Amino acid sequence: MKKDWKYYLGMTLFLYSFFPLSIVAILPFLGMTLGQAGAFAVVFLASGEMAFWCAAALLGKEFLTALKTRIKAWFKRPHEPRPISRNLHRFGISLVVVSFLPYYVMLIYLLFFSHTESEINFLAWTLVAGEAFFMAGLFILGGDFWDRLKNLFVWPGQEKVPH
């Protein structure tokens, strides 16, 4: 692929197309009214979508085919789970367990105490922190934990039932 102005403009638009998603994710914390946030989200997401399609037109079929191949390879890549130490396992389990606490704290606070808008914003960020703890805990626990977690939802008699 020739690296001329089309390439650089296309790559800039392609990278920009992911930016609106991250901005829309933080809209609830910016203190806008629901109408303002909705209008901003629609316009901003539409600009990202238009930027993606313009980037696709500028970069051409070769780029889109290469991108599609890389994404497919990333998801189809076989991953061998590596064992983790006992302490790291305990830390990961602790993060997963602690990640559920913000939901109960927020529920109790909203039901039994009066609240101001700044306190609601603090509680919302606490929920975001709980989500981050959960994701970090699952990431630390690794592939073996994912397999054990997946097996929790498999019915043991599933293989014995004729189709």
What digits encode the pLDDT tens for the residues 3-58?
888 888 989 998 998 888 788 878 777 877 877 877 888 888 888 889 888 888 88
Q: Answer yes or no: is 59 within a domain.
A: yes
Please tell me the least confidently modeled range out of 53-57, 77-81, 118-122: 77-81
Q: Of 76, 104, 139, which residue is a domain's last? A: 76
Q: Answer yes or no: is 81 within a domain.
A: no
Measure CA of the first residue to CA of the last residue in the chain; give whole Å: 51
Q: Is 80 exceeded by the pLDDT of residue 1?
A: no
Q: Is 70 exceeded by the pLDDT of residue 81?
A: no
17 Cβ partners below 8 Å, 6+ apart?
48, 49, 51, 52, 55
Tell me which amino acid residue 62 is.
E
User: Looking only at Cα atoms, what is the longest distance across the chain?
Assistant: 64
pTM score: 0.47
118 CB neighbour count, 10 Å cutoff? 9
Angle between helices 101-112 and 117-151 (to 10 degrees): 140
Same domain, 90 and 66: no
Same domain, 11 and 72: yes
Total structural domains within the chain: 2
Q: Answer yes or no: is 91 within a domain.
A: yes
The share of the chain scoring above pLDDT 90, in percent, equals 1
Q: Answer yes or no: is 150 within a domain.
A: yes
Q: Answer yes or no: is 160 within a domain.
A: no
In whole angstroms, give the CA distance from residue 119 to residue 32: 16
